[in-house]
Copies of this chain bind each other. A is one copy, B any other.
Amino acid sequence: MQFRIGEAAKRAGCKVETVRYYEQMGLLPQPSRSEGNYRLYSEEHLAQLRFIRHCRSLDMPLEDIRNLLTLRERPREHCAEINALVDEHIDRVNSQMALLEQLRESLLTLRSQCAGPGYTDSCEIVRELSTCECHDS
């Protein structure tokens, strides 16, 4: 079975442009072409596209995915590199979460400053933002 790009995109749950983008970025091998120059994807292409989309749904950067694809093609090597790659990504996600948590705290504190319906010039939110000391020195 061969699929044109629209079908491939639909099956992988992404847009046509995204599929072309992956090809351009070297994540998807160039497919064969029809007589009218349409891309024709095989089942294997499709599997690879799904692989990419699944990794992306885990928010892995394209470069990591590129590395995973390469590693996958050396089946007799130990999977330590793969684990390391996943671990690093988990670390990234963890530190993003820590950052967001701090952000949330700061924002909630800021928000709680407003004493309720009042005028802008006496709003503590505005005041706190305007008299920041952390960005002064």
Q: How many copies does the complex hold?
A: 2
A: number of interface residues (CB 8 Å) = 57
Instruction: Specify which of B13, B89, B90, B132 is in contact with A135 (CB 8 Å cutoff).
Output: B13
Instruction: Evaluate contact between B101 and A135: CB separation under 8 angstroms.
Output: no
Q: Which residues of B are found within 8 Å of A37, using beta-carbon distances? A: none
Instruction: Write the nearest CB–CB distance from A98 to chain B, whole angstroms.
Output: 10
Find out whether the CB atom of A82 lies under 8 angstroms from the CB atom of B136.
no
A1 at the interface (CB under 8 A from B): no
Closest B residue by C-beta to A94: B104
Does A33 sit within 8 A of B, measured CB to CB?
no
Task: Assess whether A58 is interfacial by the CB under 8 Å rule.
Answer: yes
Question: Which A residues have a C-beta under 8 Å from some C-beta of B?
Answer: 11-13, 47, 50-51, 53-55, 57-59, 68, 71-72, 74-80, 82-83, 86-87, 89-90, 93-94, 96-97, 100-101, 103-104, 106-108, 110-111, 114, 117-121, 123, 125-126, 129-130, 132, 134-137
